[in-house]
A and B are shown apart, each in its own frame.
Chain A
């Protein structure tokens, strides 16, 4: 399966990646190769094989419902680009 330019741009947009026009063909080839691999996997007969949600044959361990974290806001906000009034600041996002 091969992707066209618009599909590549749509995927980049969803991933919030900016790609320059020169590299579109490269991405097109690489992503298409990935999909070819998936096609190959799809072709395998999996009748009678139970689907796996995880490659490890193990079960989720559970945590007790206990508060173990303390407030470390100051530390975290020291490495944030911009904060005010305890909030992390980002460019205005209103829908």
Chain B
């Protein structure tokens, strides 16, 4: 049977506030265990939550960025469950009246293709602490520093149809929250985490199959792998006539498998009810519009502008726009070089390769956008070759200098583009190689383009630093004159 894959993602993004969502404890990552877990975070008797205005502002900003309905009235609820990383015995979240309602994003599927995915909702809630199961002599150690860190949980519609689409969606969400500056997007520190809901149904069937939820997948690659192995597992069961159990599963990256975690508690078991400690949050149009005015240009808009204004391909535009720092670097460099396409190719090619090789981010690059722009301006003006550009780029990277023009002189990279000088060299090359000339003249017209190669090589050997384009033109002209 042919199966259709149905995937929905729940992404938790930690908001980049200084203090927690309901208390004045610091949210800084990496502090000593429990040094940022205070009276409220520990759930001591009598404590009361006070809502952080910055968390609200960031959530609304996110809602505007995905073109969503904003909850002018939103309400906090208690989700009740017992686990040691949540000392109050409940998590404060938003069930029926979330801050962000239905919105949508466009995901990039490569080669410039994109697809719109609807976002059901995004609600505010508090993060839980961390349990450490090793090193405590048969007990579990609890670190409550993370307890109360503000989160938005972003819930997609079950519209994703493959593991690739799921990771593209996750990537796009990361790009958006980082553009907005509301989350640092760091997957390795758990600033963004993803739960994947996966089910299969016979192709053409409208009704959804039973789904499983894979918890806390922590990288783009693992989202793809976890979903792929889960699809395979479910397909095997269904093909054998079995049925899928609705449950929560964990992805084991080492064994490349998902395994059962616990039977998913049905919704009622959480005994949600409105939190009596918190009043409804009411905002007005003026508040929303003031936040809208602070929205930066978003990846989708930037991509469209790069295509329209700079003539970039859809693919190049989407790659460059995905990362705000990368996009800014590109635009600054291209503004100086005067050639957007060439600069795009450079940033996505040699520059990205160098970043990957050295495992650094664009923020740490030793070659500034101004320097790259100056290098490429020389390429555009035919003063240096592309290989020469690479040499200057590497020299700056290695700290051998910072002034582009000086380096071009020092490294002797200046190209000879003066036609009369090149004509003299070409004339000499032709005179020195009568056999090559004869061979060329005996070559049929349509194959001559290839036969010109040896002359170019010989000319560049005879005079270092000649501009290959000018050489090519002069050669063609001279050879044509011969017959």
Q: Quick check: B83 and A60 within 8 Å, CB to CB?
A: no
Q: Across the two chains, which residue of chain A brings its CB closest to B270?
A: A14
Q: Quick check: A63 and B140 within 8 Å, CB to CB?
A: no
**Contact for B33 among A56, A62, A72, A86, CB less than 8 A:** A86
Q: A60-B278, A63-B50 are in contact. Are A89 and B37 (CB under 8 A)?
A: no
> Cβ of B222 < 8 Å from any Cβ of A?
no
Q: Quick check: A90 and B84 within 8 Å, CB to CB?
A: yes
Q: Which residues of A contact B25 (CB under 8 A)?
A: 67, 69
Considering only residues 366-423 of chain B, those with a C-beta below 8 Å from chain A are none
* Per-residue contact bits, chain A 41-84, to B (CB 8 Å; 1 contact, 0 not): 00000000000011010111111111111011100110000101
Q: Across the two chains, which residue of chain A brings its CB closest to B19?
A: A67
> Cβ of B443 < 8 Å from any Cβ of A?
no
Q: Across the two chains, which residue of chain B brings its CB closest to A58?
A: B279
Q: Which residues of A contact B316 (CB under 8 A)?
A: none
Q: Quick check: B83 and A54 within 8 Å, CB to CB?
A: no
Interface residues on chain A, size class: 35 or more
Q: Which residues of A contact B39 (CB under 8 A)?
A: 69, 72, 76
Q: Quick check: B51 and A88 within 8 Å, CB to CB?
A: no
**Contact for A60 among B35, B84, B282, CB less than 8 A:** B282
> Cβ of A85 < 8 Å from any Cβ of B?
yes
Q: Quick check: B53 and A64 within 8 Å, CB to CB?
A: yes
> Cβ of A87 < 8 Å from any Cβ of B?
yes
Q: Across the two chains, which residue of chain B brings its CB closest to A54?
A: B279
Minimum C-beta distance from B132 to chain A (A): 6
> Cβ of B274 < 8 Å from any Cβ of A?
yes
Q: A63-B52, A67-B26, A69-B25 are in contact. Are A95 and B140 (CB under 8 A)?
A: no
> Cβ of A92 < 8 Å from any Cβ of B?
yes
Q: Quick check: A71 and B280 within 8 Å, CB to CB?
A: no
* Per-residue contact bits, chain B 245-283, to A (CB 8 Å; 1 contact, 0 not): 000001000000000011000000101001010111110
Measured in the bound complex, the distance between the Cα atoms of B23 and A66 in whole Å is 9
> Cβ of A22 < 8 Å from any Cβ of B?
no
Q: Quick check: B140 and A71 within 8 Å, CB to CB?
A: no
* Per-residue contact bits, chain B 221-241, to A (CB 8 Å; 1 contact, 0 not): 000000000000000000000
> Cβ of B114 < 8 Å from any Cβ of A?
no
Binds A, one of B141-149, B339-347, B473-481: B141-149
Measured in the bound complex, the distance between the Cα atoms of B140 and A93 in whole Å is 6
Minimum C-beta distance from A86 to chain B (A): 4
Minimum C-beta distance from B117 to chain A (A): 30
Q: Quick check: B280 and A54 within 8 Å, CB to CB?
A: yes
**Contact for B97 among A16, A53, A63, A88, CB less than 8 A:** A53
Q: Quick check: A76 and B34 within 8 Å, CB to CB?
A: yes
Q: Which residues of A contact B143 (CB under 8 A)?
A: 86-87
* Per-residue contact bits, chain B 56-100, to A (CB 8 Å; 1 contact, 0 not): 100000000000000000010000101110000000000001000
* Per-residue contact bits, chain A 16-59, to B (CB 8 Å; 1 contact, 0 not): 10000000000000000000000000000000000001101011
Q: Quick check: B141 and A84 within 8 Å, CB to CB?
A: yes
Considering only residues 7-53 of chain B, those with a C-beta below 8 Å from chain A are 17-19, 23-26, 32-39, 42, 50-53
Measured in the bound complex, the distance between the Cα atoms of B269 and A92 in whole Å is 23
Q: Quick check: B282 and A86 within 8 Å, CB to CB?
A: no
Q: Quick check: B53 and A84 within 8 Å, CB to CB?
A: no
Minimum C-beta distance from B277 to chain A (A): 10
Q: Quick check: B19 and A89 within 8 Å, CB to CB?
A: no
Q: Which residues of B contact A94 (CB under 8 A)?
A: 133, 140
**Contact for B274 among A14, A54, A68, CB less than 8 A:** A54
Q: Quick check: A66 and B141 within 8 Å, CB to CB?
A: no
Q: Quick check: B274 and A85 within 8 Å, CB to CB?
A: no
Of the candidates A65, A73, A90, the one having the most CB atoms from chain B within 10 angstroms of its own CB is A65
**Contact for B56 among A54, A62, A73, A77, CB less than 8 A:** A62
> Cβ of B131 < 8 Å from any Cβ of A?
yes
Q: Quick check: A65 and B141 within 8 Å, CB to CB?
A: no
Of the candidates B34, B75, B261, the one having the most CB atoms from chain A within 10 angstroms of its own CB is B34
Q: Which residues of B contact A58 (CB under 8 A)?
A: 279
Q: A63-B53, A92-B139, A92-B140 are in contact. Are A77 and B24 (CB under 8 A)?
A: no
Q: Quick check: B82 and A89 within 8 Å, CB to CB?
A: no
Q: Quick check: B136 and A67 within 8 Å, CB to CB?
A: no
Q: A94-B133, A95-B261 are in contact. Are A60 and B51 (CB under 8 A)?
A: yes
> Cβ of B138 < 8 Å from any Cβ of A?
yes
Q: A59-B279, A60-B278, A60-B282 are in contact. Are A91 and B34 (CB under 8 A)?
A: no
Report B's interface with A, CB cutoff 8 A: 17-19, 23-26, 32-39, 42, 50-56, 75, 80, 82-84, 97, 131-133, 135-144, 250, 261-262, 269, 271, 274, 276, 278-282
Q: What are 29 residue pairs bridging A and B, where the CB atoms are less than 8 Å apart in the complex?
A: A53-B280, A54-B274, A58-B279, A59-B281, A60-B51, A60-B280, A60-B281, A61-B51, A62-B50, A63-B24, A65-B17, A65-B54, A66-B19, A67-B18, A69-B19, A69-B24, A76-B34, A76-B39, A85-B136, A86-B33, A87-B143, A88-B141, A89-B136, A89-B142, A92-B139, A93-B84, A93-B133, A95-B250, A95-B262
- Please name 10 further chain A to chain B contacts, defined as beta carbons within 8 Å, in addition to the given A67-B24, A91-B140, sorted by A numbering: A16-B82, A60-B279, A62-B52, A64-B54, A68-B24, A71-B35, A84-B141, A88-B141, A89-B139, A95-B261
**Which 6 A-B residue pairs are closest in the complex by CB-CB distance?**
A87-B141, A68-B24, A65-B54, A86-B33, A62-B53, A60-B279
